[in-house]
Amino acid sequence: MSIFRRYYFPAIYSLVTYFSIRLLLDTVTGMRFWRRAWGQNLLEISWCIVFGYILIGAHHYLYRYFDKHWADMDYRKRVWMELGAITLMTILFQNVFILPMAAFTDDGAQWYDVADINVIPLLYSLIYYGISRSNTFLQAYVNNKVQLQEVMNNQLQAELKFLKSQLHPHFIFNALNTIYFQMDEDVNAAKKSVEQFSELLRYQLYDQQQTVSIRHEIQYLHSFINLQKVRASDKLVLNLHLAPDLYDQQVYPLLLFPLVENAFKYVGGEYWINIHASLKGKRIHFIVENAIPKITMPVKAGGIGLENLKRRLELLYPGKHTFEINKTERTFSVALSIEPEPVVYQTIITEEDEDQMRHHG
């Protein structure tokens, strides 16, 4: 508490209370208190100042009590409890300290004396409570909001890390199985596959809250596609078009991968995959189409990878993306459009990283 509030404000508060009571009573009775003996006025004023210091001190004692014992209570319920305590305390104090003054001066305590003495000090006491506690409760409200926001941010970051980290287990198993059999047939090819597989795992370590250039995202896709081509059928026709003008655009990592992974996972029928990426205006467009076997039973469009991608897009690009899935008897296509945010935090790629990416790509 500041020096002013501790030592000077209670006296000012008492004088305001006293003169408010006196002026209201004089309006009713026609008395002019300044025409009375000043000794009597000084006695009343001095006694009201004592009342003010006691009342303000009691206020802050109750504040400390509630802060200590009821800190975890819902603040709405706490406000009502404090208001009740302040009201009862003020009514008690004003009847103990001020009402006897009216009873032993002038014409004694009349009904209007009792009414004024019980209403005016209580009104000022509640006003003081509202002003003095507003900062405390506002700060508590802000702190609760900040803590809630931190919890939500932590939950979202954990969810993003979980969604981002999910390389499909079947892909990992198939990649390792492919490398295992390559070891017997072509050791150099197996080494190349190991490098590409390690690059895939390394890229997973990028912070999902930081953006990367699409150049690095595409290098990641190339490593994945090369691994898939090793074990894919020779009849697979892969059409890949990635416009160079989008290479320097910034996106969050691993947004494009689930679309390509899904295409390789479910390709069939005429056995072709088309991958197309372009920049139109300020939006990045990424379309993946693949042939599927002609089937008679309905099949759910996409797997868990696409569902995870939808959730990541909602978290990372709220209101700034479109995501469409189209399925016919023979084809399955997914179209993703993103409007990148202005970059604030970017992943720092060192020269060593660049050299290693060029080597692996």
Instruction: Find the mean pLDDT for residues 2-18.
Output: 82
**What are the tens digits of pLDDT across the range 68-116?**
887 777 777 888 888 899 999 989 988 888 888 777 676 666 777 788 8
**What are the tens digits of pLDDT across the range 159-190?**
555 555 555 556 677 777 778 777 877 788 78
Q: Which amino acid, residue 46?
A: S
Nearest of 24, 97, 104, 23 to residue 56 by alpha carbon: 97
Integer Cα distance of 255 and 208 in angstroms: 10
* CA angle at 71 for the pair 66 and 74, rounded to the nearest 5°: 105
Task: Identify whether the C-beta of residue 51 lies closer than 8 Å to the C-beta of residue 14.
Answer: yes
Structure tokens at 245: 């003008």
Which band of pLDDT confidence, cut at 50, 70 and 90, is reported for residue 360? very low
pLDDT at 352: 47
**Confidence (pTM):** 0.50
Which band of pLDDT confidence, cut at 50, 70 and 90, is reported for residue 284? very high
Strand boundaries in 218-299, DSSP class E: 237-242, 250-251, 272-280, 283-291
Task: Identify whether the C-beta of residue 214 lies closer than 8 Å to the C-beta of residue 249.
Answer: yes
User: Strand, helix or coil at 327?
Assistant: strand
Integer Cα distance of 226 and 192 in angstroms: 10
List phi, psi (to 5°) of 290: -150, 150
For residue 236, how many C-alpha atoms fall within 13 Å in the half-sphere facing its CB? 21
pLDDT at 165: 54
Portion of the chain with pLDDT greater than 70, in percent: 78
**Residue owning tokens 């139109």:** 280
List phi, psi (to 5°) of 315: -80, -35
Q: Is the model's pLDDT at 279 over the cut of 80?
A: yes
Q: Candidates 3.30.565.10, 3.40.50.12780, 3.40.50.720, 1.10.4080.10; correct CATH number of 165-360?
A: 3.30.565.10
Which band of pLDDT confidence, cut at 50, 70 and 90, is reported for residue 49? confident
pLDDT at 171: 64
Sheet holding 283-291, edge to edge: 237-242, 272-280, 283-291, 331-338, 321-327
- Delimit the domains of the chain by residue range: 3-158, 165-360
Nearest of 200, 189, 251, 204 to residue 223 by alpha carbon: 200
Nearest of 184, 341, 129 to residue 255 by alpha carbon: 341
Task: Identify whether the C-beta of residue 163 lies closer than 8 Å to the C-beta of residue 311.
Answer: yes
Task: Identify whether the C-beta of residue 337 lies closer than 8 Å to the C-beta of residue 348.
Answer: no
- Per-residue DSSP letter, 211: B
Integer Cα distance of 332 and 288 in angstroms: 8
Q: Is the model's pLDDT at 140 over the cut of 80?
A: no
